[in-house]
Amino acid sequence: MMDTKLLETDQHDAPSLEERQNQKRQIALALKFAAVVLLLWIPLNLIQNLLSERCERQCEAVADISSSWGGAQNLVGPVLTIPAGRVQFGG
């Protein structure tokens, strides 16, 4: 009688074949998901690097053009001078 009780408890504690297959499917699905995430991360990283290189190149181009075209400017033209004096009233 005691042997049958032990067998019954062992059968209830051990996962069934269906449960084990379900666990294997979940693990396989998680691994597939991780693989897809890693595979999509690679092109994302490449695009991000390309964008940062282009931003750096834009800053370099703006600095280069600014240094060659945007030097000091002098405003020169005719100057009109009007003589002025002081006027004192009263005392």
DSSP string, 15-33: PPHHHHHHHHHHHHHHHHH
What is the chain's mean pLDDT, rounded? Answer: 85
Give the max Cα distance, the chain.
Answer: 135
d(CA 22, CA 16): 10
Q: What is the pLDDT of residues 11-34, one digit of tens each?
A: 567 789 899 999 999 999 999 999
Is this structure's pTM higher than 0.85?
Answer: no
| Confidence check: pLDDT of 37 > 60 | yes
22 is written with which tokens?
Answer: 């379900």
User: Any idea where the domains of the chain sit in the sequence?
Assistant: 34-67
- What whole-number percentage of the chain has pLDDT above 90? 49
8 is written with which tokens?
Answer: 């019954």
47 half-sphere exposure, CB direction, 13 A CA radius: 5
pLDDT at residue number 60: 96
